Amino acid sequence: LIVLPHFWQTWWFHTLAVLAAIALVVGIVLFITRRRMRLKLERIERQQALERERTRIAKDIHDHLGANLTRISLLSQSAPGELENPAQAAAQLERIYNTSRELTRSMDEIVWAVNPQHDTLDSLASYLGNFAQEYLVSLNIRCRLDVPLHLPHWPITAEMRHNVFLAFKEALHNVVKHSDANEVSVALATDAAGFHLAVRDNGKGFEPATVSTRPGRGNGLKNMRQRLGKIGGRCEIQSALGAGTEINFFVSVPAAARKNV
């Protein structure tokens, strides 16, 4: 009489069981290893982003604050020589005041740019609107804002905020420096891909095709396009002689950020 063993008593079942156990252990080890590597890479990426942010802040401090502090120092050194002439002394004090005001504004910009509480679209829109009004009104240029009362609370990165703001600031600077406008309108709206920011003026306008031949103008437009390009956006400019200028910034917000609100 031959008694056949149960299948779990056979050599091949034992072999398969051992192989399955080994595969399970290997799978668990691989899963844990990959998870640890992913977390480590995420920490490295966050650290690299933090280092980039620190480098950017240091550059801003050097470029903006350092230059203004140096200017204040030079103006202050020459001020005593102007005391005998009240008109010249007053002009010198005015220059020191204006430079100090610009220094304070630069400090405010840096603090705003690095504060994570402002990493939202509605906070960005509020800051841009306040900056435009304060900057333009101080130069006797009317500023009209067209911004929705309730914007989506989309999260945006500090890098995006920083580049959008600098491009926006460059646009306003170009208006003041080149357009001879007495009114500027700033509009912000959302769309299916992100948001759109427009700066329009009623100034003398220019021919975009010939902008590269005009001293100083081409660099500003190039800087704006570069700023938007860094964050995957684009800058479009419409202008004509006697018809004012319109500068449009189109910025994409990742779908995940738009959906998780």
Three-state SS letters, 137-157? HCCCCEEEEECCCCCCCCECC
The answer as to whether 238 is a domain residue is yes
Identify whether residues 71 and 131 lie together within a single domain: no
- Do 70 and 91 reside in the same domain of the chain? yes
Residue 246 covered by a domain? yes
> Tens-of-pLDDT digits for all 261 residues of the chain?
566 677 677 777 788 888 888 889 888 988 898 888 888 888 887 777 767 766 776 676 666 666 667 777 776 766 666 666 777 777 777 777 777 777 777 777 777 777 777 889 999 999 999 999 988 988 899 999 999 988 888 988 888 888 999 999 999 999 998 889 999 999 999 988 899 999 999 999 888 777 655 555 567 888 899 999 999 999 999 988 888 999 999 999 888 777 765
Same domain, 14 and 134: no
Q: Are residues 15 and 83 in the same domain?
A: yes
Of 114, 149, 167, which residue is a domain's last? Answer: 114
What's the domain range around 187?
118-261
Q: Does 103 share its domain with 189?
A: no
Provide the 3-class DSSP secondary structure of residue 5: coil
Structural domain total, the chain: 2
Going from the C-alpha of 70 to that of each of 63, 67, 75, 105, the distances in angstroms are 11, 5, 9, 16
Closest CA to 122 of 143, 144, 147: 147
- Over residues 73-85, the pLDDT tens digits come to 776 766 666 666 7
End of a domain among 114, 137, 164?
114
Residue 2 in domain = no
Domain assignment of residue 1, yes or no: no
> pTM (2 decimals)?
0.68
Looking at residue 198, which CATH number applies to its domain? 3.30.565.10
